A and B are shown apart, each in its own frame.
Chain A
Amino acid sequence: MQRILAGDATLIETVVLSLQVSGTALLLSTLIGIPLGAFMGLTRFPGRRLMTALLYTGMGFPPVVVGLFVYLLLSRSGPLGQLNWPFLPALFTPGAMILAQTIIAFPLVAGFTMAAVMGVDPHLRQQIQALGATPWQSTLTLLSEARVGVVVSVIAGFGGIISEVGAVMLVGGNIEHKTRVLTTAIVLETRKGNFGLAIALGLVLLSLAFLTNLAMLQLQGRTFDP
C-alpha cells in the first residue's frame, strides 16, 4: 500500500500500460463496433439473422479462448506468424494484447449499439428523411437518439477488457516492464502471497474503471449529430 501511496515507478508503469492497452483496444472496438452495430440495426440484408447470432456469440466470448485464438494466430508456426507482416503485432507485446482485447470488446460495442438503435422509434427515421436528412445525417441522428445505449455499449466494452486477465496473460506473458498490466500483476502478487499489494492493485483497478465510466457518462447527455 505504501508503494501505491509513494507513487512507485513500477506501479505507475503498470497502470499506464493497462490504460494504454485497454484504451487503444477500446478505441479500435468503438471504431469498428459502433458503425457495425448501426449498420446491423438499421439495414435488412440476407444473412442478417446469422450475423446477429454470430455477434451475440461474440459478446459472450471467454477472454481466455480469445487469448488462445490470438496466440495460435500470431505464434511463429501460426497462420499469421509465418507471414511476417510488419503491421501484425508479435506475441508477448502490447500490440498482441491490444488485438486480443479488441476482439473481446468490439462484439460488445456492436451488439449493444445494434440493440440501442433498434430501440429508437421506428417512425423517426422516415420522418427525419422527410425533413431532408441524407443517409449519413440520418444515421448520426439515430445514433444520437440512441446515445444512452451507445454509451452503455462503450462502457460494456471497457468493462469487458479492463478487468480481463485470461487473454492478456496468454498473449502478453505478464513480462515485467513490458507486458505486465494491473490484472496480471494482481494474479502474480496473489500467487506470491502478497495479498496486501494484490488488494491495493485491485483498488487501483476499480478506481480507474470508476473514473473512466464517470467520464464516459458525460457523453450520454450530449448530442453528436450534425
Chain B
Amino acid sequence: MSQPVYRLQGVTKVYPTPSGQERCVLQVDDLHILQGEILALVGPSGAGKSTLLRLLNFLEPPTQGTIHFLGQPFTPDREMPLALRRRVTTVFQRPALLNRSVWENVRYGLRLRGEGNARERIQAALELVGLRELADQSARQLSGGEAQRAALARALVLEPDVLLLDEPTANLDPYNVGLIEDVVRRTNQERGATVVLVTHNVFQARRLAHRVALLLDGRIIEVAGVEDFFERPRDPRTGAFVRGEMIY
C-alpha cells in the first residue's frame, strides 16, 4: 500500500452556470491515492466529492491540471486509453439498471469487453452480494437495496483495479448497509482493489477507510490516516466536521 495509483496535480473543474458565468466546483492542488487503500472522501453536499469521482473514472476531463493514473496522464486534451479506463469503475448512489434480468445486468460490462461467456465470474459476483436466487428476475422488480447490490455485482464482476463508490449506502436499511460494507472490505482485502468512497457518513468512513479526506467548497482541507483524521485533526474545520458542529 505505497505506490500511488492516482496523482492529481493542479486539477480544477469549472462548469458554466445558466446565467452564462463560470463556477469552479473543484480545485485540487495535490492528491495521491495509494495502491490498495480505501480512501474516504467526506464533506457536505456540493463540496465537489462526486465531481472528483467522475474525474477519477475519466467520465469528464478536468478543466485544468493533470490526473496521472498508473503513470498515464489525463488532461483537458488528452483522453485516458480505453484499456486503462476499463480498470476503473463506479457504483453510484442511485443505481440505474438495464431493463433486463439481474444476470444480464451483471454480464453487461463483461459483454462490452467481449467476455460475456464468463458464467462463473457472474455467478461468483451474484453470490458475493447475495443475489444468486434473483439472477433471472427482472432488474426493475428489485427493491432499493437489492438494486444497489446488483449495481455492486456488475462492478465487481469486472475485477477492477479501482472501485469508486458514490454514497453507495445512502437511504439503505442497516442490513444492506452492512452487507455492502462487508463486500467492499473483502474486495479491498482479498483482491487488493483500491477503493475511493464518497460518503456523508463519518461513521462509515471510520469503519471502512484507511485514510480520509475532507472536501469543502471544492478544496481538500485535510487528508490523514483514519485515526489522525478523527482523533487528532490538524485543521479546525476537520474537527468541526467530525464532531458534527459544522454548519453548511
Contacts and interface: CB of A to CB of B under 8 A. Distances in A.
A and B bound?
yes
Interface stretch (A30-38, A132-140, A159-167, A187-195): A132-140
Contact of B112 (A123, A127, A133, A145): A133
A132 B85 contact: yes
Interface residues of B, number: 25
Categorize the interface residue count of chain A: 10 to 19
Contacts of A137: 112
Contact of B158 (A123, A129, A131): A131
A23 B90 CA distance: 44
Contacts of B113: 132
A42 interface: no
A124 B96 contact: yes
Contacts of B128: none
Nearest to B99: A145
Contacts of B109: 131-132
A27 to B, nearest CB: 27
Given A123-B92, A126-B59, A131 B108 contact: yes
A130 B155 CA distance: 9
Contacts of B164: 130
Contacts of B82: 132, 134
Interface string B55-98: 00101000000000000000000000010011001101011101
B96 A127 contact: yes
Interface of A: 121, 123-124, 126-134, 137, 141, 145, 223, 226
Interface of B: 54, 57, 59, 82, 85-86, 89-90, 92, 94-96, 98-100, 108-109, 111-113, 151, 154-155, 158, 164
Enumerate the 5 nearest inter-chain pairs by beta-carbon distance, A residue then B residue, closest first: A132-B86, A124-B96, A123-B96, A131-B109, A130-B90
11 contacts: A126-B92, A127-B92, A127-B95, A127-B151, A128-B108, A131-B108, A131-B112, A131-B158, A132-B109, A133-B112, A145-B99
Given A128-B98, A131-B154, A141-B108, 15 more contacts: A123-B92, A123-B94, A123-B96, A127-B96, A128-B108, A130-B59, A130-B90, A130-B164, A131-B109, A131-B158, A132-B85, A133-B112, A134-B82, A134-B112, A223-B100
